[in-house]
Structure 1
Amino acid sequence: MEDISVIIVSLKKKLALLLSLFFVVFMVSFQFAGLVISTIKDDLLPEGAKLVYVSPLEIMLLKMKIALFIGLFFIIPFILIFAVKALMKRNMVTIKVKKGPLFVVSVVALISFLAGVSYAYFIMLPLFIDYLYLNAAASGVVATYSIFSFISFAVQASLIFGLVFETPLVLTTLTRLDIVQYQTLVTYRKHIYVICLIIGAVITPPDIVSQMMVGIPLLIFFELSLIIVRIVGKGKKKDKT
């Protein structure tokens, strides 16, 4: 068994590497955050609506939030790699990871994430925001959005949908590795529905429209995942029978 001091030193090195990567990405992203804000404003702000800032530090905090999101999403793959390697090294998991399938899964994961972000940014958000704006305008209300709330909503929604689009890949991979069985997913389908709606409520603002905007796509992608898993997600045990 590994000496505890060796494990602590290894963890410190990995933590230092992750923090260094995060800091570098954060600083670079912060420099381009203004361009991100300007682009989102030009693309998504309805004609006639206005953006205002309600506190002196709002723009600075918004840039930091965007850079924080980018930094965190950049280091997540490294965290997963370190975690899997640590578990395999200590024989806590018996999964053999081959470079070929791992590369394919990584590429599909990246494509799925970008597809989700693109869907949210170019299709869903323009329709959703325009609908809300026209609905408010029809009531005689002038749309004046806080720049922090508006840009944060657009960024968060895009990133969330990027993760939602990963659902089929995640469930297919888990079933292929015999970590989760297809029949288990079917058996606990109703429970998973509730979990999806709870996730939608937790990661969105406290209004029913935003919650459904995330919860319903999660349900749809879960059902899509079940179809894909049924076709290609058979685990090794099933393959042997």
Structure 2
Amino acid sequence: MNSFMEDISVVIVSLRKKLALLFSVFFILFMISFQFAGLIISTIKDDLLPEGAKLVYVSPLEIMMLKMKIALFVGAFCLLPFLLFLAVKALMKRKFVKIKIRKGPVAIVSFFALLSFLAGASYAYFIMLPLFINYLYLNAAASGVTATYSIFSFISFSVQATLIFGLVFETPLILTLLTRYDIVQYETLVKYRKHIYVIFLIIGAIITPPDVISQMMVGVPLVIFFELSLLIVRIMGTGKRKK
């Protein structure tokens, strides 16, 4: 009994240290991101706001809350690699984990993960968002309505869409790793393909405004990257069953 309580105490102390470390790193990232939040707002306004549209703020604290939200998002995304590193390091110390991880493959996977995220974020920021925002603006202008956006809603939507598409473009890499280590079976993905399509469309409806075009601009890339993932998995095979 005493031995068990000592083990629990060691785990709690270790967990407390890791949480304190994560909080400290996140706080530093948050403060750094907050310093650049104004530049991010100005850049998004210059790049995405249609000519003739106006941004307004509707409450005294709106700009401050917007900067904090941007810093929160950026800080959390910058913290993800460090969080994954700690998680993998902790799992590798457990005897029940049999997956061997080498530095070479980890570096390659990290490189392609970063490349995929940048590709997705670039697609959202330079292709999807300008088309979508201009479409809505022209729609409003054709109805004789003056476009006036809340700065909090406009910038928040732009930042969220950019980060979400960065994650969407990670789909091929994630599914390839899951099937490679037999965490998910290729046959299971093929069997429930239609169900997964429906889930993608629901996701597109949830994270976008109630507009068919915007929903399709999220759902279609998800479907395309899912099919690309299946093709990659089929070519490469899965680790254990291939052997």
TM class by shorter chain equals over 0.9
Offset from partner CA, 1:163-182 (integer Å, 9 cap, x none): 00000000011111111121
Q: Distance in 2 between matches of 1:208 and 1:65?
A: 27
- Corresponding residue number in structure 2 for 1:182: 186
Deviation of 1:208 (Å): 4.6
Which moves more between the two structures, 89-98 or 120-129? 89-98
Offset from partner CA, 1:67-121 (integer Å, 9 cap, x none): 0001110111222222233233223432111110011000100010011111111
Offset from partner CA, 1:145-203 (integer Å, 9 cap, x none): 00000001110000000000000000011111111121111011112112222322333
Are residue 102 (structure 1) and residue 88 (structure 2) matched? no
Are residue 36 (structure 1) and residue 10 (structure 2) matched? no
Letter in 1 for 2:126: F
Q: Distance in 2 between matches of 1:158 and 1:95?
A: 33
Corresponding pairs, count? 239
Are residue 237 (structure 1) and residue 240 (structure 2) matched? yes
Q: Distance in 1 between matches of 2:156 and 2:11?
A: 39
Q: Distance in 1 between matches of 2:26 and 2:44?
A: 24
Query: What TM-score do you get using the length of structure 2 for normalisation?
Result: 0.93
Q: Distance in 2 between matches of 1:8 and 1:57?
A: 39
User: What is the 5 A alignment of 1:121-136?
Assistant: 121-136=125-140
Letter in 2 for 1:184: T
Which moves more between the two structures, 4-13 or 107-116? 4-13
Letter in 1 for 2:18: K
Deviation of 1:123 (Å): 1.3
Are residue 9 (structure 1) and residue 2 (structure 2) matched? no
Q: Distance in 2 between matches of 1:4 and 1:75?
A: 27
- Corresponding residue number in structure 2 for 1:145: 149
CA RMSD of aligned residues (A): 1.6
Are residue 72 (structure 1) and residue 76 (structure 2) matched? yes
Query: Aligned match of 1:55 in 47, 56, 59?
Result: 59
Q: Distance in 2 between matches of 1:200 and 1:103?
A: 32
Q: 1:50 to 1:211 in 2, by over 3 A?
A: same
Offset from partner CA, 1:192-234 (integer Å, 9 cap, x none): 11222232233334555443332222112111111111112x1
- Corresponding residue number in structure 2 for 1:93: 97
Q: Distance in 1 between matches of 2:150 and 2:25?
A: 31
Q: Distance in 1 between matches of 2:212 and 2:7?
A: 52
Q: Distance in 2 between matches of 1:135 and 1:204?
A: 17
- Corresponding residue number in structure 1 for 2:204: 200
Query: Aligned match of 1:46 in 47, 50, 66?
Result: 50
Query: Aligned match of 2:220 in 213, 216, 222?
Result: 216
Give % identity.
78
User: Secondary structure of 1:178's partner?
Assistant: coil
Which moves more between the two structures, 212-221 or 8-17? 212-221
Q: Which runs of 5+ in 2 are unaligned?
A: none
User: Secondary structure of 2:174's partner?
Assistant: helix
Deviation of 1:66 (Å): 0.3
- Corresponding residue number in structure 2 for 1:167: 171
Q: 1:54 to 1:92 in 2, by over 3 A?
A: farther
Which moves more between the two structures, 180-189 or 204-213? 204-213
Q: Distance in 1 between matches of 2:91 and 2:172?
A: 24
Q: Distance in 2 between matches of 1:120 and 1:100?
A: 31
Offset from partner CA, 1:20-49 (integer Å, 9 cap, x none): 111011011111101100000000000000
